[in-house]
Every structure is written in C-alpha cells, then in structure tokens.
Amino acid sequence: MSVVSSTMLQNAVRLLIAIPWAAVSIARAQQALPRAGLSSADSLIRVGEDRAVIMNARGLATIEPHLVADTRDPNHLLAGVFLVAKLGDPRNPNFAMDISCVTLDSRDAGLTWVRHDFAKTGCGDPWVALVGRGAAFLGLTRGRVFTLSSRDGGRTWADSAVNLGSGDHGTLAVDATSSPFAGSLYAVWWGPVRDGALRSGVFIARSADGGVTFGQPTRLVPWSVRSVAMNPVVLSDGALVVPFNSFLTKSTPSWVVRSSDGGRTFSVPQLVTDVCARSFSQLGVDASPGPYRDRLYYVCSDSSHIYLLHSSDRGETWSDPTVVNRGPGPVHNPVIAVNRRGVVAVSWYDAREDPRSYRESFRCQHVFFAASLDGGTTFLPDVKVSSAENCPDTPANGEAGTRWKAGGDYHGLAAAADGRFHLLWADSREGIYQLRTAHIEIGREAGPPR
C-alpha cells in the first residue's frame, strides 16, 4: 500500500495550520463574491422537453442517478441509480430502508433505456464509467465499496464483484488520454483509517483492465481531520486530480491533490476554497482542444448560492468564487460537465419558486441549468429545465423524501459526443421520486426545438 511521504505530510500540516481561517470567513467571502456575468442571449440555451424514464419502478423511489455519455457515440448514455422501498415506520428502532442498485443503458440518446438489476438489498451510491468499449459500476453495500465490470458498454455485467474495502461515496474517473496510464480506471472513496484514530481518509485504487481487477489502494491521509473524497478527473497528460473536503467545526475547506504516477504518490494538498457548506461538490475538467484545455472547475453550494471556481495551473491556484444562480435559493446538489467545445454546464435543484417558509428545507423545487462560454468567467442566465415542481416531502416518498430532499446527493449531467448536454434527475411531481431526463443544446449547435 502506497502512502504520502512524511515530508509531504509535514508540509500539508503546516499549510493547514497557517491558513487564516478567521480572516476568510464564509460570511465575508459571500459579501465580496462577484455575481456571474449575465447575457441577454437567452436563446443560446435551448432546453428540450423533459421526459419520464420508463424503468418499471412503480412504488419505488428512484434516487441519486449518475450519468455518463460515450465520447464516441452521441446516442450512448449509461446511468446508475438506486431504488428505495418504503418499509415500516421510521420511528421503529429496527427500521431500515430496502434499497437496491440498477444501471440504465440507452443507445438512442435517452429515448429508451435497458435496465439491469444488481444486489437486491443494501446497495447505494451508484456511480458509472465508460472505459473504452466496456463499462464499470461502483456502488456501496453494507458499508463496503464494490465494483462490477461490463465488456459491452453497460448492457450486460459480470456476475462477480471486486471488493475495494470499507468506505462511502465512491466515484470513478477514466484516463482517455495517450499517457503511459491510458485506459486506466480510477476508483476514489473515503473510509476509516485503520490505526485507531477517529478520522476518515481518502483512498484511490487503479484498474488497468477496465475494472475487472484493481491494484492495492493508495491511502491519502494528509492530517488528522475527517476527509471526504469527491470525484477525480484526469488531465490531458494523464495526471490524476483528486478533490476532497475537510469537515472542520466552523468551515468545510475543499482541497485537491495531484498524481503523475497513476495514483501511487500525490502532491501536497492545495486549497480550493472554504465558502462551501457540508455538501457534495464536484470537479470538472476541460478536455477539449480549445483555449481552456485542462482548466479545472470546482462547483459547490451553501443554502443559497451555487459557487464555481476555476484553475488554469493544474490546481495550484484557484480563482475567486463566482455565484452562478440568479435566484435566492434554497439550492442543492450542483453538478458540472464540460462539452467538446469547452462549454461549462452546471445544473442543480432550486426552490426559488416556493416561498412557503413552513416547508423549510422541504420546499418544492425545480431543476435549473446555467452555462459558461468563456471558461467559467461569466455565465448565461440560468434556465429552468423541469416542467413541473418536485416536492420531496410526500407520503409515498416517506423516509426517502426526508433523507434525500433533493433526490440524492447528486444527479446526472453529461456532455455527449455531439456537444449536447443530457440531464437525469429524481423528480417527485407524481408524489414519489421517479427519473426524468432532458437534453440541452448550446449556441451554434442549437437546432429547432424537438
């Protein structure tokens, strides 16, 4: 098992101690934040009709979809999702939700989907990746992270799983470059550090065969602070960038580390920001041949703002945060994608149209979308994607609506090979979370409404 060197750990600890947290308070940062530049060219964002995903899940809440798009085939989409059955009374101390994972494979740009079921109980945190002509699924069952592989892009799956160890919130990244590690699949998660300390660490494992097998995980524990891993990305030279959050008492700083040797060793952590709340953030990268190639984008939120920061030097330094959303919130679970032309897209759940204060955090919400054409410096006005409000606090959703008030800890946003963006989200307009999807076209690629 490979670890960060002692010198690197000492430097990281000095960095953590030296940061003047009090001088960079969230309240002061928000007061000084620039609003995203707004354009009057609303027609540049064209939203297609949102449609129900037919997957024969009536009576089950469909939660937390993750979506990827094939970089070669604009019609091929793959999603992971988990299903929640309403069981008994949550006031019962023996109450437990019955959850299971499925994948959804589409070969017609999201019009129809083929469903594949995995473990019947205890599966969550679905994450998918397309690796060459194969695919990988990463999930969580009974507190352990596991992967499954597919040789046909996600239509059929291996019978046996690879157990990566104890952990939570696993994510995947693929090296699609021509680097020495080309074709590698990286799994990243956070889990307990087995040295008796009450903290969690970030773990990284690499597969050279599309997820069939994985090497020994690398443990990244830069300091004695609870660290929660987010999703990794790969730069054009094969460098792996891994973000994580540190859960401190009064702030939640976000960091990135970088590896140039396939995830065996990592750089000293670089601070991204501390304006984010304790929520799941996402990292994106521009893989286009355009002027912003290899620019990193970090998106996160608090109760009222969607923040975006960017880095043009591989994560060494970061821009000031920009507020993406125009409404007052509350907002939840932003996700990010960058298409072949370098257009940056962000989508999120937004409750700006429901002012009913008695609902507090369970307000009804819509899915919103915004795009940047200049590397995240300014954004076009945000637009509403969903055609009806989505109210999580319903009898049919039950505990699923209470635990996942925005349909999970993330939703699906992917950039297809033709430049279009596809969204996939959990929507309870019918009283229970079910999946819906829509596509979005930007600028010159926007055609007549479908």
Instruction: Give the contacts of 91 (CB within 8 A, at least 6 positions apart).
Output: none
**pLDDT tens string 24-70:** 333 333 333 444 443 334 568 999 999 999 887 778 889 999 999 99
pLDDT score, position 427: 95
pLDDT score, position 285: 98
pLDDT score, position 295: 98
Query: What is the pTM for the complete model shown?
Result: 0.87
AA identity, residue 36: A
pLDDT score, position 329: 76
In angstroms, rounded to a whole number, what is the distance separating the alpha carbons of residues 385 and 139?
28
Q: How confident is the model at residue 19 (pLDDT cuts 50, 70, 90)?
A: very low
Tokens 């470059």, residue located:
177
pLDDT score, position 39: 37
Left if phi > 0, otherwise alpha if psi is -120 to 50, otherwise beta: which for 180?
alpha
Average pLDDT, the chain: 84
pLDDT score, position 120: 59
pLDDT at 116 over 60: yes
- Percent pLDDT > 70 in the chain is 81
The CB density around residue 35, as the number of other CB atoms within 10 Å, is 13
pLDDT score, position 17: 34
**pLDDT tens string 324-372:** 999 887 899 999 999 999 999 999 999 998 877 555 567 899 999 999 9
User: Rounded mean pLDDT of 181-185?
Assistant: 96
* Range in 193-197, 211-215, 322-326, 408-412 the model is least confident about: 193-197
User: Which of the two residues, 87 and 29, has the higher pLDDT score?
Assistant: 87
pLDDT score, position 48: 95
The CB density around residue 385, as the number of other CB atoms within 10 Å, is 23
**pLDDT tens string 283-320:** 999 999 999 999 999 999 988 899 999 999 999 999 99
pLDDT score, position 41: 42
Q: How confident is the model at residue 161 (pLDDT cuts 50, 70, 90)?
A: very high
Tokens 């969580």, residue located:
140
* Range in 14-18, 32-36, 200-204, 399-403 the model is least confident about: 14-18
Domains in the chain, ordered, with CATH? Answer: 6-445 (2.120.10.10)
pLDDT score, position 22: 31
Per the CB < 8 A criterion, the answer to whether 51 and 436 are in contact is: yes
Encoded tokens for 183: 């074709």
